[in-house]
Amino acid sequence: MTQAEIKLCSLLLQEHFGEIVEKIGVHLIRTGSQPLRVIAHDTRTPLDQVKKALCVLIQHNLVIYQVHKRGMVEYEAQCSRVLRMLRYPRYIYTAKTLYSDTGELIVEELLLNGKMTMSALVKKVADRLTETMEDGKTMDYGEVSSTFVRLADTHFVQRCPLVPATENSDPGPPPPAPTLVISEKDMYLVPKLNLIGKGKRRRSSEDDAIGEPKAKRLKHTTDNKEVMVLFY
């Protein structure tokens, strides 16, 4: 990777995630894969801050990790994915062109959050769309879900890798980091969720002050099988 590309990665990481994440990300880009304590030592960054930065980078698919036979975990930056952040506006525009405002907001939320469960994403997008609609109108969760299914069918979004069931049932000591896998045939399967409800408008402080009940939260059981990520 050229110095110009590294500098560009640095600017992108700082703009999107701040100085600490940028510092850790660029360090891994320059050095290659390293274990946690070496990263903290080389960057002179407190261990807890390094952990948080790595969590952010992994959440956004900008860093991967590998567990070695001796139990050591090494982290490696994905430079090409960092540079693809330049294309985020294009991804959002394409989704809007093909799938209207609903598709635009689904893609935008996934880019902002890295990974989300389908249920949380549907609720968030429905709430945002309801905020833009005329008084008295709301966006149904079912409409957002339908657009989400279309995005998965056309491979805009895909499921995240999961911890294998055999690893969960192993009675031995847990590994230092989970091994995540997913088969190709399951990448674009959409979980069957019974999402019933409509988007909610944010209540003003005046509404809360007079004691009106707060909007009920969407009830669902969180299942790691429904975690989705934007594919790019």
Task: Give the HSE-up count for residue 81: Cα atoms under 13 Å, Cβ half-sphere.
Answer: 18
- pLDDT, one tens digit per residue, over 95-114 is 999 999 999 999 999 999 99
Q: Alpha-carbon torsion 191, 195, 198, 202, what sign?
A: negative
Query: DSSP label at 179?
Result: P
Which of 116, 117, 141, 114 shows the shortest CA–CA distance to 223?
Answer: 117
Q: Which two tokens stand for residue 210?
A: 């007079």
Total-model pTM? 0.82
Check residue 116 and give its pLDDT. 93
Q: Which two tokens stand for residue 225?
A: 């099988």
The CATH fold assigned to 87-230 is Arc Repressor Mutant, subunit A (1.10.10)
CA 129 to chain centre: 20
Residue 74 and residue 66 in contact, taking contact as beta carbons nearer than 8 Å: yes
Check residue 58 and give its pLDDT. 96
How far, in Å, CA of 116 to CA of 149, rounded? Answer: 15
Q: Which residues contact 138 (CB under 8 A, 6 or more apart)?
A: 126, 130, 198, 199, 200, 201
User: Domain map of the chain by residue range?
Assistant: 3-77, 87-230
- pLDDT, one tens digit per residue, over 37-80 is 999 999 999 999 999 999 999 999 999 999 887 888 999 999 99
- pLDDT, one tens digit per residue, over 155-208 is 999 998 887 776 556 667 777 887 888 888 888 988 887 777 777 877 654 444
Is residue 210 helix, strand or coil? coil
Q: Which residues contact 103 (CB under 8 A, 6 or more apart)?
A: 95, 96, 147, 150, 151, 156
The CATH fold assigned to 3-77 is Arc Repressor Mutant, subunit A (1.10.10)
Query: Which residue bears the tokens 């088969």?
Result: 183
- pLDDT-based confidence at residue 210 (cuts at 50, 70, 90): very low
Check residue 213 and give its pLDDT. 41
